Amino acid sequence: MKLTELFAKDTFNMSFEVFPNKKPENLESVKAKVLQIAELEPAFMSVTYGAGGGTSQFTLEIAKNIKQRGDVPVLAHLTAVSSTKKPSLPVLQS
């Protein structure tokens, strides 16, 4: 389901936003925690890209983990700070 369809419904929707840790050694811990959050069955989860791109290298990996293993719709919360028009992340396919 597209998020626009979800928002068009007259229902309560719970979502969570994940802020990737800046330390690579914490990536596996974050991925495990988001799967625990996914068990709460939110309508969707977003993963922030990080203002200034500080955590951007982990955004796609965490989003893929949520989509593939958590079975929850996911989106990348992109920030425009210090970004260019050139896309840097591939699109996740449904």
What are 6-46's pLDDT values in tens digits?
888 888 889 999 888 878 888 889 889 999 999 999 999 99
In a domain, 10, yes or no: no
- Give how far the C-alpha of residue 51 lies from the chain's centroid of Cα atoms, to the nearest Å: 14
Share of the chain residues as helix, strand and coil, in percent rounded to the nearest 5: 40, 15, 45
Active site residue 39: no
Return the axis-axis angle of helices 56-65 and 27-38, rounded to nearest 10°. Answer: 40
- CA distance linking residue 79 with residue 94, whole number of Å: 22
Domain containing 37: what range?
A: 17-77
In a domain, 12, yes or no: no
User: Which candidate in 5, 17, 39, 61 is catalytic?
Assistant: 17
Residue 37: which of 15, 58, 7 has the closest Cα? 15
Domain count, the chain: 1
Tens digit of pLDDT for each residue in 45-57?
A: 999 886 565 667 7
Instruction: Note the residue count of the chain.
Output: 94
**pTM, 2 dp:** 0.72
Average pLDDT, the chain: 81
